[in-house]
Amino acid sequence: MGELSGVAIGVTAERRAEEFIGALERHGAEVRHAPTITIMPLNSDPLLRGATSALVAAPVDFTVVTTGAGFRGWLDAASGWDLRTALVARLGESRIYARGPKAVGAVRGAGLRETFSAESESNAELFDAVGSAGVDGARVAVQLHGTPLPEFTAPLVSAGASLVEVQPYRWTSPRDVTPVHELIDAAVAGSLGAIAFTSAPAAANFLTLARTSGRYQQLLAALRGPLVVACVGPVTAAPLEAVGVETVQPERQRLGALVKLLVTTLSGTGGTSESRS
């Protein structure tokens, strides 16, 4: 018997799902897995290859790294196209701005050094720092992670920057959305103790699929009710909070911290390792 014995938790992740599910099940949870997005393989993505080729064709003044996984995946894909050496050389000539320690770790793992790291691990702090550095006339490489960030990149363009946006890990809806619809039904029926999200696209597409199923308003009512909605961090939570869903988040934006948060929240053991937005 674990702390989460008898508690049903919905997991929407595709990447690292086995690790996440295994950790919850070791605490006794009943996990209902319904990936709300599927990831396109990097080395078969023509848009990523085209953006990478365009990037190495001319000097880069600033590089913005939003995620460690995305940055490493990008370099791995570039290796398959025989572009890694040229890419790393271009990025090494630039001033590198990273969103937190995971992004910093990926940058340093490539033999590069960052100019700035966002202490809050937020895109707002990251892009504010880039804009404050003076980007008029600068060529700026922006590594995205799954979705565009127009609210952060548009001000750079307005300030005179020329952007090359690189989007590793593009997402689409899963081919079979039946498990997602079943998870929506479970949330509406009140048979879940919590639902967990580890990426903003997964949260956003969960809401989109609820709309297409005709259960959007019912789902919102459930998410705003006693159901615990847990997100790995504020970026992930943003699509949910935008529609009035309150979320809980661990202080550290890590999968292990999210598991611990779910255990303390759902088992009634208390704890101070969470924030509620």
What pLDDT is attached to residue 41? 64
Mean of per-residue pLDDT scores for the chain: 91
Average pLDDT of the segment spanning 144-162? 91
Q: What is the pLDDT of residue 271?
A: 38
Distances (CA, A) of 131 to 90, 136, 266: 20, 9, 41
For position 1, what pLDDT does the model report? 56
Contact 161, 184 (CB under 8 A): no
Same fold flag, 8-39+174-276 and 42-166: yes
Ordered by start, the domain boundaries in the chain are 8-39+174-276, 42-166
Give the residue-averaged pLDDT of 141-162. 91
Query: Is CATH 3.40.50.10090 the classification given to domain 8-39+174-276?
Result: yes
Contact 109, 127 (CB under 8 A): no
Q: Among the listed ranges 115-119, 150-154, 253-257, which one has the minimum average pLDDT value?
A: 253-257
Q: Is the pLDDT of residue 202 over 50?
A: yes
Residue 103: is its pLDDT beyond 80?
Answer: yes
C-alpha 112/C-alpha 89 separation (Å) is: 9
Are residues 193 and 7 in contact, defined by beta-carbon separation less than 8 angstroms? yes
Task: Look at residue 163 and tell me whether its pLDDT is greater than 60.
Answer: yes
Look at 247 and 271; give whichever has higher pLDDT: 247
Calculate mean pLDDT across residues 26-45: 87
Choose among 25, 43, 26, 32: nearest CA to 8.
32
Overall average pLDDT of the 19-37 stretch: 95
Tell me the mean pLDDT in the region 182-189. 97
Question: pLDDT at position 40, please?
Answer: 72
Query: How sure is the predictor about 254, in pLDDT bands with cuts at 50, 70 and 90?
Result: confident
Q: Which residues, 6 or more positions from 183, have their beta carbon under 8 angstroms from its beta carbon?
A: 10, 12, 32, 34, 192, 195
**For the whole prediction, is pTM greater than 0.85?**
no
Please determine, looking at this structure, whether the domain spanning 42-166 carries the CATH number 3.40.50.10090.
yes
d(CA 221, CA 154): 34
pLDDT score at 171: 79
147: pLDDT strictly greater than 80: no
pLDDT of residue 277: 53
pLDDT above 70 coverage of the chain, percent: 95
